[in-house]
Amino acid sequence: MTNDEASPNAPAFAELRRGRQMTKQLVKRAHYHSDFIIPSSLDIGHSSLRSGFVATDATLAELVREIAAADRVALDTEADSLHSYREKLCLLQISVSVAANANGHDDFIVDPLAGVDLEPLRQVLEPREIVLHGADYDLRMLRRGLNFTAHRIFDTLIAARLLGIREFSLAALLKRYFGLELPKGSQKANWAKRPLPARMAEYAINDVRYLLPLAEKLEAELDRPRRRDWLRQSCQRAIEQAAVARVRNQDELWRVRGAGLLHGRPAAVLRALWQWREREAEMADRPPFHILQNEKLVNAAESFAAGSVPDYKHFSPRRRRAFREAARSALLAPESECPVLPRRFGTRRTADTVRRTEELRRRRDKSAEELGLEPSFIAPRNTLEAIAADRTRAEKLLVLWQRELLGV
């Protein structure tokens, strides 16, 4: 008998692993416990780990063995962007097909913050097809937190849209295909919190536990209109786009919402206050909006420029001094150092471009109606305009099935 089996909590965690099919009625019962049951009085901490929660070399090795025997793995992530300055991967939820399991899959929660070397996990995941829902964010988090780049994915959101489904959130799809209504909450939770509360663990695992059976159902439906290859093309493009780092002009980051209304000295103050807020957020390891929200930042810049001294009760004496000093430095800076609103150089659309855009729109809308797809999913308006202006951009902006529908 292992130490885990000897624990008084072992029966509850054995229930986690059985993973019997959840029904709508079970979801709605008291405490909204799923079949990945964790007693509401129990927090998952590293002092009481069980199979299903991976935070040791031993439990990771078990997970790696299960993944190695599977061709397809469902995956989801949780991060702490609402609670820290630099977002980090906090949870990795994984569902693995297991023929011996009556439910067809085993579910795991991996703790990337436990100090375990996750390189074996990265290696075993790499050659497998990864099932996700709305893949872009998860792929970016996996690349940043696990140094993992997927080679094959099945995005259930893309699959649903290729079937013409208008309500394609995960919750809507689970209700549509399985009659499930999962409990809400924990979306804005601090996923770096340890020990991990039961309700958060339940929420996290629900995001992944139905992805494999959902993918099977969507796959079967895509076979009828022969759109599996369309899915492959769109998923490959999603992988490519997630691998491209999003870069913003560092000199323009301070231009938050409302900044466009400020010019000259007020704009200089706003820039200085934004830089002050970044320093404070980094020191405190909190998101910048925890220090001062954008709207208040803009208002403060206007007030300082008008001769007032805004104050906020939640500031410490040190933070208040730094806040005022940042504004003061901007107020005393030479006029030549004040930011200038960058000029936007656009190309005026010619009559030919307008005509080509309209022709593309007609083709798109005709195809969308015939195929039961949303027109914007075939190509959004700005994409049509870009291709009308420069046809060579079509290959970069659209995948093959989209280009064929538009005739470009």
Residue-level pLDDT at 245: 86
CA torsion 156→162→166→169, rounded to 10°? 10
Task: Find out whether 300 and 327 touch, Cβ atoms under 8 Å.
Answer: yes
Q: In what order do the strands lie in the sheet with 129-132?
A: 53-54, 105-110, 89-97, 72-79, 129-132, 152-155
Distance, CA of 48 to CA of 45 (rounded, Å): 6
Mean pLDDT of 132-139: 97
Distance of CA 383 to the CA centre of its chain: 23
Residue-level pLDDT at 49: 31
- 100: amino acid identity, one letter: A
Average pLDDT score, the chain = 87
Residue-level pLDDT at 343: 66
Residue-level pLDDT at 345: 58
Residue-level pLDDT at 102: 58
- 262: amino acid identity, one letter: L
- 258: amino acid identity, one letter: G
Residue-level pLDDT at 30: 27
Q: Is the pLDDT of residue 22 over 70?
A: no
Would the pTM count as exceeding 0.85? no
Contacts of 22 (CB under 8 A, 6+ apart): 34, 35, 180
pLDDT in tens, 306-326: 999 999 999 999 999 999 999
pLDDT in tens, 70-93: 999 999 999 999 999 999 999 999
Distance, CA of 276 to CA of 330 (rounded, Å): 11
Q: How does residue 37 score in pLDDT terms, banded at 50, 70 and 90? A: very low
pLDDT in tens, 262-315: 999 999 999 999 999 999 999 999 999 999 999 999 999 999 999 999 999 999
